Amino acid sequence: MKKPIETTFKELFQKEPLMVYSPGRINLIGEHTDYNEGFVMPAAIDKKMIVAIAANRTRQAKVYSVDFEEEFAFNLDSFGPKKGHWATYILGVTAQLQQAGYAVQGFDMVFGGDIPVGAGLSSSAAFEAAVGFALTTLFGFHIPKRSLIHYAQKAEHVFAGVQCGIMDQFASVMGKKGHVIRLDCRSMDFQHFPLNLPNHSILLIDTCVKHSLADSAYNKRRQECQEGVQAAKKNNPDIKSLRDMDLALLDTIQSDISLTVFNRCKYIIEENNRVVAASALLDQNNLKGFGEKMYASHEGLSKLYEVSCPELDFLVDFTKEQDYVLGSRMMGGGFGGCTINIVEKAKLKALKESIQPAFESRFGVTPKFYEVSLEDGTGLI
C-alpha cells in the first residue's frame, strides 16, 4: 500500500516525501462506557491510513486522495470546514494546530488506506492522527502524543461535527503490537495488556447494514445514563458519572427511575467491571475467561442497553454453537456494523463457510470478513 502512495506523490510533486502511517482500531470490550467516564479496551490493528507529505514553501496546501482519485487545495490563511468531504479531516487538524500556536507552512500531501469505511474501524480517527503526526514531524513541532490525540478529537468535533469520545484517536496513536490498551476515559491513564494469540485469530464479521436508529439512539442512551446519575446525586452529591456508582447504589434508586434507565445504568456499571476483570484474565493468559466476558458484554448490549439488532444477535448466537470460537460480541455504536470474534486459526475457513450462507438466507445480505492483528500505533514508515 505504501508503494502506490509514494509513487503517486513523486509523479505529482517531483520530490521525495516523508511517509507516516496511522492504524484503525478495534475495541475488544467496554462499549458505550467512554462517555460515562468508564473503561474501554481498544487496540490498534494492521489496517491503516498512509500519508506522504513534503513542504512546498508557499501558503498553500495541495492534497491528493489515492482512494477517491481527487485533488483538493486550500490557503492556510483562510479556510473553513467542508462538511461531508474527506478534506474536512485535514482542514480540521490543520486548524487545531494553528490555533495551538504551531506555524503550519505550505505542504503537498498524498494519502490512502486499507481501513474498510463504515465497518466501525475508525478510519477518520486514523486519518486525523496520521495528518497530525505528519505535520508535526515535517515541521519539527515536537507535539506530545497526548496533545496530538486531543487535536485529532477536536478536529472531529469542530470540523466534522461528530461528538466522538477519545477512544478512537487514543487507540490509533498509542497502540502496541500484540497488546490491547485499557484506557480510563476519566483520567486518561492507560496500561497495555498482552493478548497472546498463537492459535487464534481476531475475525470481524461485518453485517453490511446500518439501521437508521443509530444516531438518535446514541443521544438517547447518553440522556438515559445522565438521568440515572441525577437520581443518584440527590442523596450522593459526590456522584459525577456512572463510573462513581456500583450495583448496590443503583438498587437504592431503583424506585426513583424507570426500568429502562435502570437497565441502561446496570449495563454500564457491569461493563466497567467486565473490562477490569478482562484485564486480569489477559494477565493470566486466560483466553477462555476473556471470551466469556465478551459474550456477557454482548448480552448486556443486546438486552439491557438495547443497541444491538437482529443481524448482530444472529452472528453472536451462531458462534455460541461452535466450540472453536472463544468469544464474540457486537462492536461499536450498534444497530449494525461488525461483530468481533476470537476464533481458532485452523477453523476460520469453516466458520466463514458456515456462517455466510446462514446469514444470507436469513437477511438477504452477504456479510464481509476481516482478519486483523494487533499492531503499533501512529509512526514513521
CATH number at residue 68: 3.30.230.10
Kindly give the interhelix angle for 123-138 and 145-155, rounded to the nearest 10 degrees.
130
For residue 353, tell me if it sits in a domain.
no
- In terms of DSSP bridges, do strands 107-113 and 379-380 run parallel, antiparallel, or are they unpaired? unpaired
* Spans of the chain, pLDDT less than 70: 213-214
Q: With CA atoms as reference, report the closest residue to 91 among 100, 78, 103.
A: 78
Give the domain extent around 104: 2-194
**Residue 168 bears catalytic tag:** yes
**What is the pLDDT at residue 96?**
98
Tell me the C-alpha distance between 25 and 35, whole Å.
Answer: 18
Contact 334, 217 (CB under 8 A): yes
Question: How is the beta sheet containing 200-210 ordered, strand by strand?
Answer: 325-331, 336-344, 200-210, 368-372
Q: Which helix (H) or strand (E) holds 111?
A: strand 107-113
Which string of DSSP letters, residue by residue, matches 314-368?
A: HHHHHHHT-TTEEEEEEESSSSEEEEEEEEEGGGHHHHHHHHHHHHHHHHS---E
β partners of residue 204: 340, 370
Which residue matches cell numbers 500505533?
A: 377
Residue 200, φ and ψ in degrees, nearest 5: -125, 160
**What is the pLDDT at residue 330?**
97
Burial (CB count within 10 angstroms: exposed 0-12, middle 13-18, buried 19+), residue 320:
exposed
Tell me the C-alpha distance between 140 and 119, whole Å.
Answer: 34
Q: With CA atoms as reference, report the closest residue to 169 among 105, 126, 118.
A: 126
Q: How many helices (H) and strands (E) would you count in the chain? A: 11, 12
Residue 265, φ and ψ in degrees, nearest 5: -65, -40
Q: What CA–CA distances, in Å, run from 128 to 67, 132, 181, 207?
A: 16, 6, 20, 26
For residue 150, tell me if it sits in a domain.
yes
For residue 360, tell me if it sits in a domain.
no
- Active-site residue among 168, 244, 251, 313? 168
Tally of domains in the chain: 1
For residue 95, tell me if it sits in a domain.
yes
Tell me the C-alpha distance between 1 and 21, whole Å.
Answer: 11
pTM for this predicted structure: 0.93
Contact 41, 180 (CB under 8 A): yes
Q: With CA atoms as reference, report the closest residue to 270 among 243, 292, 290, 289.
A: 243
* CB-based burial, 14-48: b 16+ in 10 Å, e otherwise: eeebbbbbbbbbbbbbbbbbbbbbbbbbbbbbebb
Tell me the C-alpha distance between 25 and 176, whole Å.
Answer: 11
**What is the pLDDT at residue 214?**
64
Q: What is the pLDDT of residues 61-108, one digit of tens each?
A: 999 999 999 999 999 999 999 988 999 999 999 999 999 999 999 999
Give the amino acid at 210: K
Q: With CA atoms as reference, report the closest residue to 174 among 129, 143, 142.
A: 129
**What is the pLDDT at residue 300?**
98
Contact 281, 256 (CB under 8 A): no
For residue 344, tell me if it sits in a domain.
no
Tell me the C-alpha distance between 252 and 247, whole Å.
Answer: 9
**What is the pLDDT at residue 1?**
84
For residue 180, tell me if it sits in a domain.
yes
Tell me the C-alpha distance between 108 and 283, whole Å.
Answer: 45
For residue 212, tell me if it sits in a domain.
no
For residue 237, tell me if it sits in a domain.
no
Contact 45, 97 (CB under 8 A): no
